[in-house]
Amino acid sequence: MRLLADHCDLYNAALAERREAWRMRNVSVRYGDQSAQLKEIRAADPDGQGRHSFTAQQQTLRRLNVAFAAYFRRVRAAEGKDWRVGYPRFKPYQRFDQVLFVAGDGAKWEPADGSRWASASFQAVGRVKTSQHRLVVGRVKTLQLKREGRRWYVIVVTETETVPLPTTGRAVGVDVGVARFLTTSDGEMVANPRFLDAAQERLVDLQRRKQRARPGSGNRRRLRRALAKEWRKLRNQRRDFHHKTARGLVDSCDTIALEDLRVAAMTASAVGTVGTPGRNVAQKAGLNRSILDAGWGQFTSILAAKAESAGRRVVLVHPGRTSMDCHACGTGCVRPRQDTVVCPVHGELDADLNGARNIATRAGLGSGQASAA
């Protein structure tokens, strides 16, 4: 699609300018510098960049700025360590899949009036018929046009007022894990569906067949689409599970405490270097895969958003030794098995339940063992 291709060209040109300015003159080019050039770029290319929304082009430049901000954070984190930090990369057309518009400036949303079809209008594209799967509530702020494989989506972001839910009197600590997805301090447990394990055989088979197919062939394209479809299904299953689980907690709890986990650090590779190779690399790779499949980061973000819209409170606490210290007396425990800790005073404890009760205590919720309302 021409819109995505032109925004991809803008992104890559801005990246090239930043890279060359630093390489040739040690000069940092920032978002403000590049945004100021847009008027001149649009005037020089009226049938290309000049066709598109000015504010949408600014959002593409901001997207590059976010990539550089993340890069510099990784550089600072890697100081004094033997880590490789990847520089922002140029994007091929097939991997540039979304453009963000500000509503009312190059984009307009028209909701469905009693029918299934709504419409979204985008500058340089026109009016697009859209299947509206639910009511759009609040003031529309942005519209995002997104491609996933052969499917196209319009993501509508709105601003709404908080609608507080009735109080329940329940406040809990929540421990997330891989054996169980979560355990609350009052004993509620949610199993881990392990979506990746269920899809692993299909994914491996498709990946193997794609690698064997001749590059550029129709068969390879079909297999690539089938593989992308499987990954999309996996993402949707995980996201749906996170939404439903978060909704259950928000509806039944006034305050929810979680660990402030650094998932990226927890899933760092254990391979090490040639001089200092890592240990238990295969086991760590398996654990990393399980953590990423559970999707703790996405779940926390969804839970926080639902809690804010419902007037609930989410508290993040430091995760250190939440499972290893006894919730009753604070004594350090030993962990003979993944699901069990042993306190010298109180004996065997469920590791996840013990962690959830420690999280509740750190958040100032007492023991967090109150019965659900």
- What are the tens digits of pLDDT across the range 56-109? 999 999 999 999 999 999 899 888 877 788 999 999 998 999 999 999 999 999
- Cα 146 to Cα 42, 94, 154, 291, distances in angstroms: 23, 12, 6, 27
State residue 197's pLDDT score.
94
pLDDT category at 342 given cuts 50, 70, 90 is very high
Q: Rounded to 5 degrees, what are φ and ψ at 180?
A: -110, 150
Least confident of 77-81, 125-129, 316-320: 77-81
Q: What percent of the chain has pLDDT over 90?
A: 80
Structure tokens at 119: 């419409």
Total number of residues shown for the chain? 373
Sheet containing strand 171-176, strands side by side: 189-191, 180-184, 171-176, 255-259, 313-317
- DSSP one-letter string for 28-75: ---HHHHHHTHHHHHHH-TTTGGGS-HHHHHHHHHHHHHHHHHHHHHH
**147 Cβ neighbours under 8 A, 6+ residues apart:** 1, 4, 97, 98, 153
> pLDDT-derived band of residue 35, with 50, 70 and 90 as boundaries?
very high
For residue 307, give every residue at least 6 positions away whose Cβ sits within 8 Å of its Cβ, in sequence order, or none: 250, 256, 313, 314
Strand stretches in the chain, DSSP E:
98-102, 107-110, 117-122, 126-131, 139-148, 151-159, 171-176, 180-184, 189-191, 255-259, 313-317, 334-337, 340-343, 347-350
> pLDDT higher for 311 or 278?
311
- Which residues, other chains included, contact 361 with Cβ-Cβ below 8 Å and sequence gap of 6+? 173, 327, 367, 368
Residue pLDDT, tens place only, 152-173: 999 999 998 889 999 999 999 9
Asked whether the predicted pLDDT for residue 307 surpasses 50, the reply is yes
End-to-end Cα spacing for the chain: 52
How far apart CA 91 and CA 74 sit, in angstroms, is 20
357 three-class SS: helix
Q: Which residues pair with 190 in a beta bridge?
A: 182
- CA angle in degrees (0–180, nearest 5) for 31-36-40: 135
322 has a pLDDT exceeding 70: yes
pLDDT at 372 over 50: no
Instruction: Determine the pLDDT at residue 150.
Output: 86
Give the C-alpha distances (Å, rounded to integers) separating 164 from 250, 291, 313, 372.
11, 33, 11, 19
Residue 12 above 70 pLDDT? Answer: yes
Handedness of CA 10, 146, 97, 237 (dihedral sign): positive
